[in-house]
Amino acid sequence: MDQASTLILAISLIIIMLGMGLSLVSADFKRVFLYPKAVVVGLLNQLVLLPLIAFGVTMLFPTRPEIAVGLMILAACPGGPTSNLIAHLAKADTALSVSLTALSSFITLLTIPFIVNLALTHFLDAGTVIKLDVMNTITQILVIVIIPVIIGMLIRHYKEDFALKMEKPVRIASGIVLMLVIVGLVIKEKDNIVSYLQEAGLVALMLNVATMLVGYASARMLTINKKMARSISIESGIQNGTLAITIAVVLLGNTEYAITAAVYSLIMFVSGGVVIYSGSKASKKPEVGGVM
């Protein structure tokens, strides 16, 4: 991508994260104390199991280094606004979903540079590896992700009516921006798209299905109720594809690293639709047992 495209992508993500901030209040972070088990299990799935599963997938299904690095970049990212929307439509615990997205967004500020650096070192030849500048990456993620979220929360706090009016339009805009980014990547790589789908499709699908299943199963094994378990499953498998693409293109300057995130974003909308359908059906049945 040229500099103009890179700048547009960064600005788009800033707007998306500002929109996510509009949906957050300080009470979202207090839930970590109200429902500690669900929050801890969700964060462990998001921050620990997800990268480990991604690495395992690359070992089971060997692929080109660029595709493997792209998968690890994606696994290092937090859940995005899309996960909150899917949680809401799937009749899951939206409050828990928002809390997990918010907390993981702040924590991954520190973990993304290290996971991405490990992936670059492991999958690329010593002569071609590009080291990600940790402090520079933290600064850029701070500017692109964290600060817009904080500004959005401040707007929500002081101008609640405006924030509530803007929440739905911004969610819709977020989805449109993500699709435009994916379309742009497809157009740019149109000559290679079939081979990219062949290379990245399987690993992306395996990561998506495995993380969602592990997220739900781990929550239920620890007697977390089904509604919260659905949220944990969604947060484990619905990633911030726009952020992953931004890291690949803006921070690493390599569109090939973004292919996996683009393919994954398409797949997660399909799996998200399945979760919405099953969640809507399950919500009509009375739940028995389960604690928070």
Of 199, 247, 220, the C-alpha closest to 74 is 247
Query: Which token pair is 156?
Result: 């929500």
Residue type, 246: T
Instruction: Please give the backbone phi and psi of residue 224, each rounded to the nearest 5 degrees, phi first.
Output: -80, 135
* Cα-based angle 149, 269, 180 (whole degrees, multiple of 5): 65
Query: Which token pair is 121?
Result: 């070192």
Query: Which token pair is 83?
Result: 């996960």
pLDDT in tens, the chain (292 residues): 455 655 666 677 677 777 777 777 777 667 667 778 999 999 999 999 999 999 999 999 888 888 999 999 999 988 776 777 778 778 788 778 878 887 887 788 788 888 888 888 888 865 555 555 666 666 766 777 678 878 888 888 888 888 888 777 776 776 676 667 667 666 766 666 677 777 788 899 999 999 999 999 999 999 998 888 999 999 999 888 778 888 888 778 888 888 888 888 878 878 888 888 887 777 666 554 454 4
Q: At 62, is the secondary structure helix, strand, or coil?
A: coil
Domains and CATH numbers, the chain: 3-279 (1.20.1530.20)
Through-space distance between the first and last CA atoms of the chain, rounded to whole angstroms:
46
Query: Whole-prediction pTM value?
Result: 0.75
CA distances from 59 to 31, 80, 279 (A): 37, 26, 32
DSSP string spanning 101-143? HHHHHHHHHHHHHHHHHHHHHHHS-TTT-----HHHHHHHHII
Q: How many CA atoms lie within 13 A of 283 on its CB side?
A: 16
Q: How many other C-beta atoms lie within 10 A of the C-beta of residue 60?
A: 10
Computed from CA positions of residues 234, 18, 141, 73, in that sequence, does the dihedral angle turn out positive or negative?
Answer: positive
